[in-house]
Amino acid sequence: MPKLQKYIHKISKYKKKLRKILNRIGISYSEEFELIDETPKKLLLPCYLGILFCGDFEINNLFNKIKIYLNTVYDSFFFDIRNLGAYNFTAELFSKGVKREYKEMKKSSGVIKIHPTNKFYQILINKRNEESLGMIIALTDLPIYSSSEDNILFLFGETHLKHRCCVVSSLKLRELGKNENNKLFETRIVKEIIHEVGHLILGSNHCPNEVCVMRFSNNVDEVDNKSLDLCDLCNTKLLGIQDSYNF
Ligand SMILES: [Zn+2]
Ligand SMILES: [Zn+2]
């Protein structure tokens, strides 16, 4: 046993070293985004929800599908779900906060550039205020890393509860598998959006139920294994929230 502990200690030392090297080849943390929100009001329900698309998507079809499912799972939680259309980064903003990832280099010709979630949150905060929305989602095909969790790369999605916004990245949801098709890809996107909106309404906890949409997914298989729906327990919580807001 002591031998094993020594081994684990050694590994964690290497991990620290590796992280330092990663930081050196990537960006410096001084470029990190600090979120500015002049009017962070508490979430009121029902509310208006907006969806912003940052990437190459068949926006109208996809939006309609997302809207139908969100209105089914979170029935009567939204006055309306609005299509905010495409967002185009300026060259300067696009490169800001970008981290270079070497792990994927073997598989691809170049370095993968990953974008910080805070960059999306700031865009979303501004847009949410501008459009007087209760909550807002960004869907992007860019790879994203968490601005708050150092070691998480390639997120499917993340939510900022205080600022009532979330971002979902479709990049890893497109991973090729058996019977891969566009319908499956879109279903995965819908699942992860239902999941992040679930956080905005139900809070930051994950559900242990294997088929519940609020279960945390480590990989695409786990996304495929869960349903598009909340489990009974999460649904009961949802009804409780509905009760507390009187609608
Ligand atoms: Zn989650
Ligand atoms: Zn659940």
Distance from the first to the final alpha carbon of the chain: 57
DSSP letter at 162? T
* Ligand 1 centroid from CA 230, angstroms: 13
Angle at 99 between CA 98 and CA 103, to 5 degrees: 145
* Ligand 1 centroid from CA 85, angstroms: 25
Q: What pLDDT does residue 34 have? A: 85
> Is 196 tagged catalytic?
yes
* Ligand 2 centroid from CA 203, angstroms: 12
Average pLDDT over every residue of 8-26: 67
Q: CA 145 to CA 23: how far, in whole Å?
A: 13
Q: What pLDDT does residue 39 have? A: 72
Q: What pLDDT does residue 22 have? A: 58
Ligand nearest to the CA of 158: 1
Determine contact, residues 247/45, Cβ cutoff 8 Å: yes
* Ligand 2 centroid from CA 50, angstroms: 24
Ligand nearest to the CA of 194: 1
Exposed, middle or buried by CB within 10 Å (0-12, 13-18, 19+), for 77?
A: buried
pLDDT band for position 41 (cuts 50, 70, 90): confident
Please pick, among 158, 186, 192, 196, the residue that the annotation labels catalytic: 196
Ligand nearest to the CA of 212: 2
Q: CA 204 to CA 172: how far, in whole Å?
A: 22
Which tens digits make up the pLDDT trace of 57-87? Answer: 999 999 999 999 999 999 999 999 999 999 9
Which tens digits make up the pLDDT trace of 138-189? Answer: 999 999 999 888 766 678 999 999 999 999 999 989 866 555 678 999 999 9
Determine contact, residues 102/22, Cβ cutoff 8 Å: yes
Q: CA 179 to CA 189: how far, in whole Å?
A: 17
* Ligand 1 centroid from CA 180, angstroms: 24
* Ligand 1 centroid from CA 6, angstroms: 34
For residues 27, 172, 53, 39, the Cα torsion angle rounded to the nearest 10 degrees is -60
Q: CA 232 to CA 75: how far, in whole Å?
A: 15
Instruction: Tell me the one-letter amino acid at 179.
Output: N
